[in-house]
Amino acid sequence: MEDKNILELERRFQEKIDNDIKIEPNDWMPDDYRQTLIRQISQHAHSEIVGMLPEGNWITRAPNLRRKAVLLAKVQDEAGHGLYLYSAAETLGADREETIDDLHSGKAKYSSIFNYPTLSWADMGAIGWLVDGAAIMNQVPLCRCSYGPYARAMVRVCKEESFHQRQGFEIIAHLAQGTPAQKEMAQDALNRFWWPALMMFGPNDAESKHTVQSMNWKIKRSTNDELRQLFVDVTVPQAEMIGLTIPDKDLKLNKETGHYETGEINWAEFWEVVKGNGPCNKERVDARRKAKEDGLWVREAASAFAEKRKNK
């Protein structure tokens, strides 16, 4: 009887998904669907939060006040995106404190791109242009994700991200048209961020263990390789336009398909970074832990103040 019930609930659930009816927090859902979403949404939230660090590194050293105000606004947006996502994860029953502890203990992952260092101002350009550009490719289809709160959070995020990409492109385009030394800085940033940006889309479809189920549940609406291809196709002409060279000697346009073909991605490097052995993994998690510890007195003060106000 019980099993039959579950089967019927699962059938109705999948029927809703197939008819593009969104799933909302109080609706019945299979446990795997819930767990998959909690994993994906919290990883996404962590990526936004950790993503503030490489850019935060340059706020005090921005070349002028305009660039500084813009970068500050962008980093603040990322904090906001992390918060939208943590609260979306909470609607599934995830405990916020535990979610954050999982990041700090190394149990939870975040996008491996943020484990690369930001060595020059041009990296702010490369991150906005390539990293936010790749993130947008990933996030736009998520606005149609089957889980309502995640999809709604993504709509807000995507609206805000488009400024992120443009500000980055403006930085790098400006440098690319500057002095030879500035152009070299821009090219160097592209050289270092191009391949990690391609890795942001995740393993090839054949290697991606979650893709099939996530596509059936409409948590994921396009495969890793499809999105990566889309990103390459739009980005290569942008690089050409500003006079920079994509660091891939095998890159060529296939006239028949109209798509660019790239060289082989270094997946060994990707997996090393995912496993925690990237250039900045330890630094990033340490910085998050320190931020939490250093902020303890502020949180305690806020609680004490709220208590005092309540008793007045």
The residue ranges that bind other proteins (CB under 8 A) are: 24, 26-28, 73, 76-77, 80, 83-84, 87-88, 90-91, 96-97, 149, 152-153, 160, 296, 299-300, 302-303, 305-306, 309-310
- Residue 66 or 309 having the CB closest to other proteins: 309
Q: Are strands 252-254 and 259-261 parallel, antiparallel or unpaired?
A: antiparallel
- Residue 286 or 300 having the CB closest to other proteins: 300
Q: Which residues contact 123 (CB under 8 A, 6 or more apart)?
A: 54, 58, 189, 192, 193
Question: Least Å distance between CB 282 and other proteins?
Answer: 23
Q: How far apart are CA 52 and CA 134, in angstroms?
A: 16
Strand partners, 259: 254
Question: Least Å distance between CB 217 and other proteins?
Answer: 18
Question: Least Å distance between CB 300 and other proteins?
Answer: 6
Question: Least Å distance between CB 303 and other proteins?
Answer: 5
Q: How far apart are CA 79 and CA 73, in angstroms?
A: 10
Question: Least Å distance between CB 83 and other proteins?
Answer: 5
Q: Which residues contact 91 (CB under 8 A, 6 or more apart)?
A: 25, 149
- Residue 252 or 299 having the CB closest to other proteins: 299
Structure tokens at 201: 């889309």
Structure tokens at 237: 């002409």
Q: Among 82, 76, 75, 93, which residue's Cα sits nearest to residue 37?
A: 93
- Residue 94 or 227 having the CB closest to other proteins: 94
Structure tokens at 299: 């949180």
Task: Name the burial class of residue 293, with classes exposed (0-12), middle (13-18) and buried (19+) by CB atoms within 10 angstroms of its CB.
Answer: exposed
- Residue 155 or 230 having the CB closest to other proteins: 155
Question: Least Å distance between CB 289 and other proteins?
Answer: 13
- Residue 36 or 91 having the CB closest to other proteins: 91
